[in-house]
Structure 1
Amino acid sequence: MNSLINRIWRNIICPALSLLPKDQRKAVCESYAGRGFSDSPRAIAEELLNRGWKVYWLVKGPKEAESLPGGIKPLTIGSTAAIYHMCTAAVWVDNCRKWGRLYKRTSQRYVQTWHGFPLKRIEGDAESALDAEYVRAARKDSLMCDLFLSNSAFLTQIYRRAFWYGGEVLECGFPRNDMLFGPPGPSLEKVRRELRLPEGKNLALYAPTFRRDLGLSVYDMDYKRVCGALSRRFGGDWLILAKLHPNVADKAGELSLDPRYVVNASAYPDIQELYLACDALITDYSSVMFDYMNTGRPCFLYVNDLAAYKDDRNFYFDLDTLPFARAEDNDGLEEIILGFDGGAQRERTERFSRELGIKEDGTAAKQVADWLEG
């Protein structure tokens, strides 16, 4: 039955939809499968809106639609309106793979921003660890893409080798990071207001990636002790914002978090605003470290399951080559915080960026919009 439905969709419905008139200045954007207004698609959408484009945003439901600013219209995924606007838009923008049955028209352009510079092996480089259905969807998605965005020569090589993609790559940086080159004040005020944070506290962001078993053992950090170490090294009172990975964010209620030291920020839609609001980052194997690197602020790696995780997916880099101090338990985390050397981190970061050909200058969204209008 599914095979018959797919043939009808592909051979009858999609060709019929392709006859609808296309709006040359309409874009349909999506981020993290409809979870809200965030990431590089957000930055591109804002740039296109400022240039007079009609911008629509795919959302899971009303809650996610609330994150959209004025001028950007929500579309519920799978709705008739969503299908219509995707069929008649000139441009699609997404940071994840598209799993639906909708096929892009040859005259449309699909910009795949991806969602980070990888530490872990991904896509074809980790194919044996991926679900076969995901690989099928990823291959189809890459065939539809017209442009991938890259922040480095290194990532471009991964696209060519492991993403089943042979099209154009624009090495412009990640549009989501453009805001990291601007003033932090507005984001800090917004984060404090929306999370109802106390005034006068320095903020540290804790944002680890997910584990294959979708467990929460990584969140065993001694938050009180970490806040104390941050206070001793940098001064002031500290509060940690814990942002669970989207794949486990719905389990946040299972954690016992003392609000004197840690606040659950998992529902906050845009992590870039959290970067700007926070004075330090603690992560593990997540690509957030490479984004936060643009702020020049302290970053620490807490990897309490290093051996098991490395066996699971392996890394593109030896962890010793990363520019950030690393710890495997709470004792070690306290030690690297107290011993933080800003000058040494800056030197290591500059060397790392130079060796991998990283390009970030705050103009990525503009470059993408120029490409679309060119």
Structure 2
Amino acid sequence: MQEQNYIRWRKIKAWGNRLVFYLCRIFPIKRHRICIATFEGKGGFGCNPKYIVRELHRRHPEYEFIWLVKDDTKKFPEYIRKAPYTVWGRAYWMSTAKVWIDNYRTHYGTAKRKGQYYLNTNHYTEGIKCTGLLRGEGFSRMAYLVSKADSDQMDALVTDSRWCDVVMPDSMLFAGAMLKTGAPRCDILYGERREARRHIREKHGLPQDAHIVMYAPTFREGAKNGKRSVYSEAWTLDFVGLLDMLEAKFGGKWYLCLRVHPQLAPTFRQYKNEALAGRIFDESQADDMYEVLAGMDFYITDYSSAIFEAGFAGIPAFIYADDIAQYAHDRGALMWNLATDPHERVRNNKAVTPQFDLTLPFPVASDNEELLEKLQQFDSVMYRQTMDKFTEAIGLVFDGKASARVAEEIEKDAFCEEERNPVMENRNFNEINCILTVHNMWQENRKDALFFLNQAENNDDKFIKIRYLRAALMFYLNAIDAYLAQKCEAILNEKKSLDDNEIRILNSLKSDERTPNRYKLMQVIFCNNEKISRENEIDYDDKMLQELREIISYRNKLVHYAGGKYDDNYNIDKILKIIQNGELMIKNTLTYLGCEEDI
């Protein structure tokens, strides 16, 4: 019962979030704007989106990058603009972006517009833990709703192997386009990694010949009554014994790099061990784990998927998990039979991946004694051969070129040239763009507006009825604004004899996002076009001018009713009459411009 109440509350919040997104559709989509988020706004400049954005910026300096964050102190390159990961922050920036890039799930209630492109890069590929539907009963109803809502809006998912082709439809609840490009965040792991090794040692004042082992226990997340929580038990790994064994086995001076989930970072600050003084450092707050991982010589985790990527890079990697049976019981099925198979030969879980017959390529230990024994027995040549066989079996793509491939896919799928209507081939580009934009926006928003009008007609609660009416009107406003903004840009591009002041007003109109000023300027421009035409001897079409004035007048009525007070002026008949008049005007305008499709 408590879970049902929580789900009901989340659905109400999602409805509110969605309404804010709909309201933000009054703003046009910026063709070169890209909106990015990582880990629900908690991440910074890291993971797959970091490397995709860097490659896109290298190719297209004109692109605008907006990164949504909860922590405004996060550091980004100067070409990236930070924006708040709040309801209105998400709604405005995502609604006006041509492309979304995310490595997690978008917020429940996010609403994508027609013409936008959403690429999910995910934050794991191969893994040990089951996710999504593969978790069985461990996958809560609320988690399913959030995942399904997000996946339904995705245009493509970044993957790196045949393993992902098999797993992701159930893991991510996604059956759309999978871009088998490789993981962009792993590009930095390919090759010799000299720069990454130098950087991490300089950062922590270590000699350049120092050896470093990373311990990165997984992000532990539980769900109770549908609510998520992060938890961790005390570490049982013997850090001193580990470093001593590594020095005895491989020689040189060894240091420990600890990487835990940011929410568990205080646990490290409380950790005290005099025997480790000067031999341990923390990288839990680093935004880009893979930049850190690229500088490591050894890697140990319990259930983190990053162990596979460490292995792909040739870094020796071990599993140390002292709670395998309990973890499998609490979380549900695992991708590998860690709880049942002998540690010497752990097979893939055939109930989850029957298409494969694989052996986990990493040594597994459940206590310190077993870990030290496996370290003593470790053979680097055999390990490399084992990893090569494994990567071939899963069809891995790992060559340092993933970021470039993803950038190319975005260029092709998100920024491809719009198709032109054959009846308009003899028209200039600006006019065609204007026609296509208003026609497409009108088609898209009219459908949603009619849905909300129907909801209003069928609801007797006046407050709810008014909210539905406002939502419907905002869709019509969106279509009208797209038309007026496009026409304004066409005038600026085509009427070369405008004076400096008129050009300044037009440029302000295009760039000013403060709505009242923007539309005040719009009315000034269009209501004075006759004067501009006379003084500059411009042959301006009187019929089109009249239609533009009528549309501006219609828009002002929409603004009045969409943003006015709750009073008796709100009635279905009056709103429907306004909308019918608007539809007739738009239809006449489209017909006049040569767009003959029915609306």
Q: TM-score, normalised by structure 1?
A: 0.91
- Which residue of structure 2 aligns with residue 277 of structure 1? 295
Q: 1:125 aligns with which of 126, 134, 143?
A: 134
SS of the aligned residue for 1:315 comes to coil
Mapping of residues 40-51 of structure 1, within 5 Å: 40-51=48-59
Output one character per residue of 1:57-114: Cα deviation in whole Å (capped at 9) or x when no partner. Answer: 11112222x2x12211111211745532211111111111112433111211111111
Match of 1:327 among 335, 351, 365: 365
Following superposition, the deviation at residue 368 of structure 1 comes to: 1.1
1:263-302 matches, within 5 Å, as 263-302=281-320
Task: Map 1:9-48; keep pairs closer than 5 Å.
Answer: 10=18, 13-34=20-41, 35-48=43-56
Q: Is residue 2:406 matched to residue 1:368?
A: yes
Counterparts in 2 of 1:210 and 1:282: CA distance versus 1, 3 Å: same
Residues 131-157 of structure 1, C-alpha deviations (whole Å, 9 max, x = no match): 332221111000111111111111122
State how far apart, in whole Å, the 2-side matches of 1:275 and 1:5 are.
38
Query: Is the Cα–Cα contact under 8 Å of residues 301 and 320 in structure 2 kept in the other structure?
Result: yes
User: How far is the alpha carbon of 1:250 from its aligned partner?
Assistant: 4.7
Deviates more, 1:227-236 or 1:48-57: 48-57
Counterpart position of 1:57: 67
Question: 1:287-366 alignment to 2 at 5 Å?
Answer: 287-312=305-330, 313-319=332-338, 320=346, 321-366=359-404
Measured against aligned partners, the alpha-carbon deviations of 1:22-72 in whole angstroms (never above 9, x if no partner) come to 2222211111222211100111111111122221211112222x2x12211
State which drifts further: 217-226 or 228-237. Answer: 217-226
Within 5 A, what are the aligned runs for 1:95-114? Answer: 95-114=103-122
Task: Provide the residue aligned with 1:186 in structure 2.
Answer: 195
The alpha-carbon deviation at position 6 of structure 1 amounts to 5.3
Higher relative contact order, chain-length normalized (CA < 8 Å, sep 6+): 1
Give 1:182 shift. 4.4
Instruction: Answer whether contact 1:56 1:75 (CA < 8 A) is retained.
Output: yes
| Deviation, structure 1 residue 361 | 1.6
Q: Counterpart in 1 of 2:180?
A: 171
Which has the greater radius of gyration?
Answer: 2
Residues 307 and 370 (structure 1 numbering): CA distance in 2 closer, same or farther, change over 3 Å? same
Give the C-alpha shift of residue 373 in structure 1. Answer: 0.9
Residue matched to 1:219: 235
> Which secondary structure state, in structure 1, belongs to the residue aligned with residue 327 of structure 2?
helix
Partner of 2:517: none
Q: Does 1:147 align with 2:165?
A: no
Is this contact kept in 2: 1:172–1:364, CA < 8 A?
Answer: yes
Distance (Å, rounded) in 2 between the aligned partners of 1:201 and 1:223: 17
> Which structure is higher in strand share?
1
* In structure 2, distance between residues paired with 1:5 and 1:216: 30
What's the secondary structure of 2:256's corresponding residue? strand
Match of 2:268 in 1: 252
Return the offset for 1:184: 2.0
Query: CA shift at 1:128, angstroms?
Result: 1.7
Task: Give the CA deviation at 1:298.
Answer: 1.2
Q: Deviations over 1:213-253 (max 9, x none)?
A: 64443622111110011111111010110100345335433
Higher mean alpha-carbon deviation, 259-268 vs 297-306, is at 259-268
**Does structure 1 residue 72 correspond to structure 2 residue 80?**
yes
C-alpha contact 1:223 1:262 (8 A) present in aligned 2: no
1: distance between equivalents of 2:68 and 2:191? 27
Higher helix share: 2
Q: Given the superposition, is the C-alpha separation of residues 110 and 226 from structure 1 closer, same or farther in structure 2, using an over 3 Å criterion?
A: same
Letter in 2 for 1:317: W
User: Is 178-187 or 40-49 further displaced after alignment?
Assistant: 178-187
- Aligned AA (1:208): P
RMSD, aligned α-carbons:
2.3
Provide closer, same or farther for how the CA distance between residues 89 and 324 of structure 1 changes in structure 2, counting only shifts above 3 A.
same
Residue type matched to 1:69 in 2?
A: P
Worse overlay, 228-237 or 47-56: 47-56
Contact 2:102 2:120 in 1 (8 A): yes
Q: Which moved more, 1:328-337 or 1:216-225?
A: 216-225
Matched residue of 1:27: which SS? strand
The code of the aligned residue for 1:93 comes to I
Is the CA contact (8 Å cut-off) linking 1:242 and 1:266 kept in structure 2?
yes
Q: 1:202 aligns with which of 205, 211, 228?
A: 211
Aligned pairs, number: 371
Between the aligned partners of 1:348 and 1:9, the Cα distance in structure 2 is 49
| Amino acid in the other structure paired with 2:73 | K
- Shift in Å at residue 316 of structure 1? 1.5
Rounded to whole Å, the distance in 2 between the matches of 1:80 and 1:272 is 31
Can you give the 5+ residue segments of structure 1 that lack an aligned partner in the other structure?
none
Please tell me whether the aligned partners of residues 223 and 261 of structure 1 are also in contact (alpha carbons under 8 angstroms): no
